[in-house]
Amino acid sequence: QKEVEQNSGPLSVPEGAIASLNCTYSDRGSQSFFWYRQYSGKSPELIMSIYSNGDKEDGRFTAQLNKASQYVSLLIRDSQPSDSATYLCALQPGGFKTIFGAGTRLFVKA
Amino acid sequence: EAQVTQNPRYLITVTGKKLTVTCSQNMNHEYMSWYRQDPGLGLRQIYYSMNVEVTDKGDVPEGYKVSRKEKRNFPLILESPSPNQTSLYFCASSLTSDRSYGYTFGSGTRLTVV
């Protein structure tokens, strides 16, 4: 089992819909969780971080963390074509390393 | 402007010819790291540094060296590059290493080894 698993997609949603991106992880000791967005040919950029169980909202983005079930998700409300990108889930399983999932490609259709 | 600067952006080299990819950050970040990104495999950590003169291996360190003599710089050295090191490389930095605030990434270096 991979340490961080994401559905590679592509996930296709119509403009204005909610996009739901999911990530599961194997290390129960993981403390910090992150979502990054990466446009084609560009470097990843941090969208959100979450450390505690529950929801964390920032504008159109909501991160959800459930440590008991070992999953973290990202919801994008009112999806826009400009949200089309690859979304990377990342976490710190303890220590000083940060591990990334392979990413989910999102397409938002106008 | 707060940023992580990598050079070069593109590099084509031959097997066995030593090369260095530079990375510099202007945010006084303690933590710096190198990743490689390959299709289907995502970002894999090569080396990281918690502070000056403190470095450690990530998940794929073979064939790479790093040094952290100054806080702002964290170069990646390939002593004898091989074709399997053809990849997209990212340098990243974070404020601290004990509880990450998330990374700021450089623009990337696309390396081709022939």
Pairing of strands B54-57, B10-13: unpaired
Mean pLDDT score of chain A, rounded to an integer? 93
| Any A CB within 8 A of B74 CB | no
Least CA distance to B30: which residue of chain A? A96
CB-CB neighbors (< 8 A) of B99 in chain A: 31-32, 51
**Residue B95 phi, psi (nearest 5):** -55, -50
Cβ atoms of A75 and A64 within 8 Å: the answer is yes
- In whole angstroms, give the CA distance from residue B73 to residue A89: 27
B40/A102 CB distance under 8 A: yes
B97/A96 CB distance under 8 A: yes
For A29-77, what is each residue's pLDDT tens digit? 888 999 999 999 999 999 999 999 999 999 999 999 999 999 999 999 9
What the block records as the tokens of A10 is 């592509």
B99: confidence class by pLDDT, cuts 50, 70, 90: low
pLDDT at B86: 98
| Any A CB within 8 A of B99 CB | yes
CB-CB neighbors (< 8 A) of B102 in chain A: 34, 36, 46, 49
Partner residue opposite A103 with nearest CB, options B42, B50, B59: B42
The set of residues, in sequence order, having a beta carbon less than 8 Å from that of A100 and lying 6+ positions away, is A4, A36, A88, A89, A90, B35, B42, B43, B44
For B5-51, what is each residue's pLDDT tens digit? 999 999 999 999 999 999 999 999 999 999 999 988 889 999 999 99
pLDDT at B98: 67
CA distances from B51 to A59, A108, B48, B97 (A): 34, 41, 9, 9
- In whole angstroms, give the CA distance from residue A39 to residue A37: 7
With 80 as the cut, is the pLDDT of residue A2 above it?
no
With 80 as the cut, is the pLDDT of residue A94 above it?
no
Q: A85 CA to chain B: closest CA distance, Å?
A: 14
Peptide bond into A93 cis (omega under 30): no
Compute the half-sphere exposure of residue A39: CA atoms within 13 Å on the CB side of its CA: 7
DSSP B73: B
